[in-house]
Chains A and B, each alone.
Chain A
């Protein structure tokens, strides 16, 4: 699916004087009240995904849900306002009417059918009190692609109001779990960031763990116990092709892509000693990056590809280390209480998220790449395996209740807005994709 912005509808550039602004850093005590009335259509036209009028309402619901999930916005209940929106109102809103319901921002728009069967979603955002236009953009897609157009509109609004890139037009790959713990069935699954479009990728016949997106998002690397040979595999989303990356005699696991997608880093265990290796995918050439005795695992690249953060118990307990991409300059960065594990470098490069174990509890935390500024965001029986939203503002992880279920959760970088991510079955090992192209 492709989304393009045709010159015809794209931009009149929005005025630069945004009056309202959402401060993303301090955590939001008062989410911004925002109205997202159903998107309108000049004349309802049937599409393969419903009429344009129906799609207009659905698009608005998806946008409102995205904005609400961020914790930064409070979409008003459409039942609470009576303002009806005409096509003319989209470009000239009745600001006085929106002020009476205390909406501070307004997202409105249109859905229209295109001759090729596709649709165009026009997305407009306004500051209600200053009656100023904040943004407008058109998204052309197939009728079935209406959700992505809605996510892109939500990203536009989020970006204009917070000054940060959005993250709603993205996906999650994770491990869907079911059955007794002693005979757990695990399957790879993907879904949109908001849980829509859920799809299982593997049958559950083989135990699978730790799926991670390639930067191009069409490939996933993961670990599979296929044939009782625990190894790193690649899954191609378009074709469903599954392929082991090598015929190693030893267990290989904990894979991640390099930022350019050309290499994988992962761990391999040889005779009880676990080290980190890099494989160049084009040539399958293997380079060993760590040689210390002990467990070196969970490698994750910095977004510029120059360094790798990983965990090692070479000092006695699991702690975080950073090394150059060639394995040189290995240096411990975590010195706080407890153990530190499963580090993941933020896509912004400024922070490293990790799992902290201490006092019989697991937390998700962040620290700077030099180890300073350690901050714990959650605390529970078992919170594990962080993954970053594409804009580096939200962290998803999995939470295991003591003797109970395991589910996906997310939390803001501020430590606020902790929320469960619904999945059809139980879920673990989430990995967030970059923004979709």
Chain B
């Protein structure tokens, strides 16, 4: 069920590398993910028996490990950090509800995390209307999360209208990716 959202996320945010640990549950979807980063040996506890190499290893890349409670964990557990909408619509479809439901479950486990829900529109509307439409989408997602028990005090919304598309493009595929509400988690510390 979370397979397609994972794919979408990898398209949207290729810069955020997820470690093998984090995506082990979706191992069959590896081909959809960005190229795996070099193994992060340095920041984790030294494991035994692997230090005998006589070659000089490259500097370790420090990625965003899927530490429980982290942003990466939120995305992995929820299936996606965003939900998509139809043209000029702010209705949550079944897929969107499923993702938001998992987001709410995750947020229930981490009650100190605050979120901002960003509402976005595709380019096929006037600037002012799209700001209001983005507000509708962010509010729809926020209200659903609230109904799932996420305290309203933890949530804020912001609309970017058509100002911050996820994908630069003027075709149906790009528009579909850009009509979205993104849950941005702010992990304290």
Interface-located stretch among A102-110, A213-221, A265-273:
A265-273
Interface string of A373-395 (1 = CB under 8 A from B): 00000000110110000000000
**In the complex, which residues of chain B have a beta carbon less than 8 angstroms from the beta carbon of A230?**
131, 158-159
Q: Which of B142-177 contact A (CB under 8 A)?
A: 143, 158-160, 163-171
A298 to B125, CA, bound (A): 13
**In the complex, which residues of chain A have a beta carbon less than 8 angstroms from the beta carbon of B160?**
207, 225
A274 contacts chain B at the CB level, 8 A cutoff? yes
B136 contacts chain A at the CB level, 8 A cutoff? yes
B7 contacts chain A at the CB level, 8 A cutoff? no
Asked if A182 and B165 make an inter-chain contact with CB atoms under 8 angstroms apart, the answer reads yes
Asked if B129 and A341 make an inter-chain contact with CB atoms under 8 angstroms apart, the answer reads yes
Asked if B163 and A251 make an inter-chain contact with CB atoms under 8 angstroms apart, the answer reads no
Q: Which of A412-437 contact B (CB under 8 A)?
A: 429
Asked if A182 and B132 make an inter-chain contact with CB atoms under 8 angstroms apart, the answer reads no
Asked if A274 and B132 make an inter-chain contact with CB atoms under 8 angstroms apart, the answer reads yes
**In the complex, which residues of chain B have a beta carbon less than 8 angstroms from the beta carbon of A184?**
163-164
A341 to B140, CA, bound (A): 24
A56 to chain B minimum Cβ distance, whole angstroms, is: 44
A400 to B124, CA, bound (A): 11
Instruction: Indicate which residue in B126, B135, B159 contacts A357 across the interface (CB closer than 8 Å).
Output: B126
**In the complex, which residues of chain B have a beta carbon less than 8 angstroms from the beta carbon of A271?**
139
Instruction: Indicate which residue in B123, B127, B136 contacts A429 across the interface (CB closer than 8 Å).
Output: B127
A342 to B130, CA, bound (A): 12
Asked if B135 and A274 make an inter-chain contact with CB atoms under 8 angstroms apart, the answer reads yes
Number of interface residues of B (CB under 8 A): 29
**In the complex, which residues of chain A have a beta carbon less than 8 angstroms from the beta carbon of B132?**
267, 269, 274, 295, 297
Q: Which of B6-56 contact A (CB under 8 A)?
A: none
Instruction: Indicate which residue in A272, A355, A402 contacts B136 across the interface (CB closer than 8 Å).
Output: A272
**In the complex, which residues of chain B have a beta carbon less than 8 angstroms from the beta carbon of A402?**
170
**In the complex, which residues of chain B have a beta carbon less than 8 angstroms from the beta carbon of A267?**
128, 132
Number of interface residues of A (CB under 8 A): 39
B133 contacts chain A at the CB level, 8 A cutoff? yes
Closest to A400 in B: B123
With A253-B131, A267-B132 as known contacts, state yes or no: A182 contacts B126, CB within 8 Å. Answer: no
**In the complex, which residues of chain B have a beta carbon less than 8 angstroms from the beta carbon of A225?**
160
With A180-B168, A182-B165, A403-B169 as known contacts, state yes or no: A269 contacts B129, CB within 8 Å. Answer: no
**In the complex, which residues of chain B have a beta carbon less than 8 angstroms from the beta carbon of A253?**
128, 131
**In the complex, which residues of chain A have a beta carbon less than 8 angstroms from the beta carbon of B85?**
none
B106 contacts chain A at the CB level, 8 A cutoff? no
Asked if B166 and A355 make an inter-chain contact with CB atoms under 8 angstroms apart, the answer reads no
A59 contacts chain B at the CB level, 8 A cutoff? no
B74 contacts chain A at the CB level, 8 A cutoff? no
**In the complex, which residues of chain A have a beta carbon less than 8 angstroms from the beta carbon of B166?**
182
B134 to chain A minimum Cβ distance, whole angstroms, is: 9
With A269-B159, A295-B133 as known contacts, state yes or no: A182 contacts B168, CB within 8 Å. Answer: yes
Instruction: Indicate which residue in A182, A269, A384 contacts B164 across the interface (CB closer than 8 Å).
Output: A182
Asked if B125 and A357 make an inter-chain contact with CB atoms under 8 angstroms apart, the answer reads yes
Asked if A272 and B165 make an inter-chain contact with CB atoms under 8 angstroms apart, the answer reads no
**In the complex, which residues of chain A have a beta carbon less than 8 angstroms from the beta carbon of B129?**
295, 297-298, 311, 313, 318, 341
Q: List 27 A-B contacts (CB under 8 A).
A: A182-B168, A184-B163, A184-B164, A209-B163, A210-B128, A225-B160, A228-B158, A230-B131, A251-B158, A251-B159, A253-B131, A267-B128, A267-B132, A271-B139, A272-B143, A295-B129, A295-B136, A297-B131, A298-B129, A311-B129, A342-B126, A355-B126, A357-B124, A360-B124, A382-B123, A382-B124, A403-B171
